[in-house]
Amino acid sequence: MPPPPTLIAILPTPSSTSPTKILTLPHPRTSTPTRYLLHPSAGLHELTKITPPSSQPRSWLLTHPSPGYTLSDGSLYISTPLDPLFLLLPHLLAKADEKHFLPLDDLLDELPAVWAAVLAAQRNVVERRVRAVCAAIDAGGEKAYRLCLEKTRRVLARKCQAMAQALPRSLEEEFVRRPLVKPVTAASVVVLEARSGEEEETTAAEKESDEKKEGDMEDTPKEEPDAAMTHLLRLRVSAQFLGSTYLPTSLATALTEHLASVHDFAILDEHLAHLKQLRLDSAAARSGDFSLKRGNDDEASDAKAEKKRKTEEDEAKKKKNVSRGVRELGKVNTRGMAKLTSFFKKKE
- Using CB atoms within 10 A of its CB, is residue 257 exposed (0-12), middle (13-18) or buried (19+)? exposed
Q: Is the dihedral of CA 75, 76, 79, 82 positive or negative?
A: negative
One domain for residues 40 and 84: yes
Q: Examine residue 96 and state whether it is found in any structural domain, yes or no.
A: yes
Same domain membership, residue 205 and residue 173: no
Quick one: 238 and 281 in the same domain?
yes
Which 3 state secondary structure label does DSSP give 266?
helix
243 touches 255 (CB < 8 A)? yes
Domain shared by 206 and 229, yes or no:
no
- Domain membership of residue 282 (yes or no) is yes
Closest to 223 measured CA to CA, from 174, 173, 282, 180: 180
Q: Pick from 248, 254, 290: which is nearest to 31 by CA?
A: 248
Clarify whether residues 126 and 29 are in a common domain. yes
Q: How far apart are CA 136 and CA 282, in angstroms?
A: 58
Indicate whether 16 and 114 sit together in one domain. Answer: yes
Q: Please list the pLDDT of the chain residue by residue as tens digits (348 residues).
A: 677 778 888 899 888 788 899 999 999 999 999 999 999 889 999 999 988 888 888 888 888 766 788 888 889 999 999 999 999 999 999 888 777 899 999 988 889 899 999 998 999 999 999 999 999 998 888 899 999 999 999 999 999 999 999 999 989 999 999 999 888 765 555 555 555 555 555 555 555 555 554 444 444 444 456 899 999 999 999 999 999 999 999 999 999 999 999 999 999 999 999 998 888 888 888 776 655 555 556 666 767 777 887 887 777 766 666 555 555 556 555 565 555 555 555 555
Domain identity same for 136 and 82 = yes
State pLDDT tens for residues 290-299: 555 555 566 6
Range of the domain at 212: 184-223
Number of Cβ within 10 Å of residue 94's Cβ equals: 12
Please state the φ and ψ torsions of residue 253, each to the nearest 5 degrees: -65, -40
Q: What is the pLDDT of residues 194-242, one digit of tens each?
A: 555 555 555 555 555 555 544 444 444 444 568 999 999 999 999 999 9
Residues 6+ positions from 115 with CB-CB distance below 8 Å: 25, 108
3-state SS assignment for residue 80 = strand
Q: Does 319 fall in a domain?
A: no
Q: Are residues 249 and 132 in the same domain?
A: no
Q: Is residue 164 part of a domain?
A: no
Cα separations in angstroms, 341 against 214, 262, 337, 346, 348: 69, 106, 12, 11, 16
Q: What are phi and psi of 69, to 5 degrees?
A: -160, 165
Q: For residue 48, how many other CB atoms are within 10 A of its CB? A: 11
Q: How many domains does the chain have?
A: 3
- Domain for residue 346, yes or no? no
Give the model's pLDDT for residue 253.
94
Spatial neighbors of 207 by CB under 8 A, at least 6 apart, are: 199
Same domain for 119 and 215, yes or no, is no
Question: Are 257 and 282 in a shared domain?
Answer: yes
Report if residue 325 sits inside a domain: no
CA 14 distance to own-chain centroid: 35
Round to whole Å and give the CA distance between 159 and 238. 8
Q: Are residues 193 and 230 in the same domain?
A: no
Residues 159, 142: Cα–Cα separation, whole Å: 29
Residues 131 and 197 in one domain: no
Residue type, 254: A
User: Residue 18 domain-assigned?
Assistant: yes
- Select from 53, 75, 72 the least CA-distant residue to 61: 72
- C-alpha closest to that of 139 among 105, 166, 88: 105
Q: How far apart are CA 306 and CA 296, in angstroms?
A: 15
Task: Name the DSSP class of 174.
Answer: I
